Structure 1
């Protein structure tokens, strides 16, 4: 199995765990210092991120992680893709498609998710000049 295969398998586990609100699995597949930067710029540490499910504040109906590319850097890997979800946070729609960067680390035994950064998908605000 290649690093890309490992990362894609771990990513599939993450997406499935988010849909199930499986905080035990999410806790297991992330590093102790996991950090999420949300699509509006807010930052959650691991316990805050997990608490959204523990309290029932976040309900994820569907979540797909697609158009993913993976780059490996020794004991780290970066995956960039599109995270599309149907979700509610505290009764308010949190549906959307987000360009996402996932950061993974390898501790010599296994890969773990160390961080995520989400940004709303939109058009470029400008077009670069033609060369």
Structure 2
């Protein structure tokens, strides 16, 4: 998988997150997707998508910067800085984070997000 393919996929995922688009995320997340939140909680694919379909999470902005892509055949690992202006329910969820994304190309050739791990970023993210 090329770095260009991965970068394009990550941008598509970023837009779906920023827009809170559950239909787009349905297409982008692998069936066995696992998300790890900034406090260590786990979310399944259905739970990750439900944040938006329920209206619980709403983003005004969701930006990535300093993305570093490493490819390993049909798999890529992306580490990036991320900033967001968002709410989770009634709570402000804005902040700066580091993301690790695991991007895979499945047997059918589709590129999917298999996992994401989010960590708080003590220093402001660039960009």
Q: TM-score, normalised by structure 1?
A: 0.89
Q: Where in structure 1 do 4 or more consecutive aligned residues deviate above 4 Å?
A: none
**Deviation of 1:107 (Å):** 1.4
Partners in 1 of 2:102 and 2:88 — Cα distance?
24
In the other structure, the counterpart of 2:27 is 28
Q: Which residue of 2 aligns with 1:37?
A: 36
Q: Is the 8 A contact 2:37 2:117 kept in 1?
A: yes
For 2:78 and 2:36, locate their aligned partners in 1 and report how far apart those are by CA, in whole Å: 15
Q: Give RMSD over aligned pairs.
A: 1.2
**Deviation of 1:23 (Å):** 0.7
Q: Secondary structure at the residue paired with 2:40?
A: coil
Equivalent residue, structure 1, for 2:17: 18
> How many residues were matched structurally?
122
3-state secondary structure, aligned to 2:39: coil
Structure 2: which 5+ residue stretches go unaligned?
none
CA offset digits 1:1-44 (Å, max 9, x no partner):
x7111111111111111122111111101100111100011110
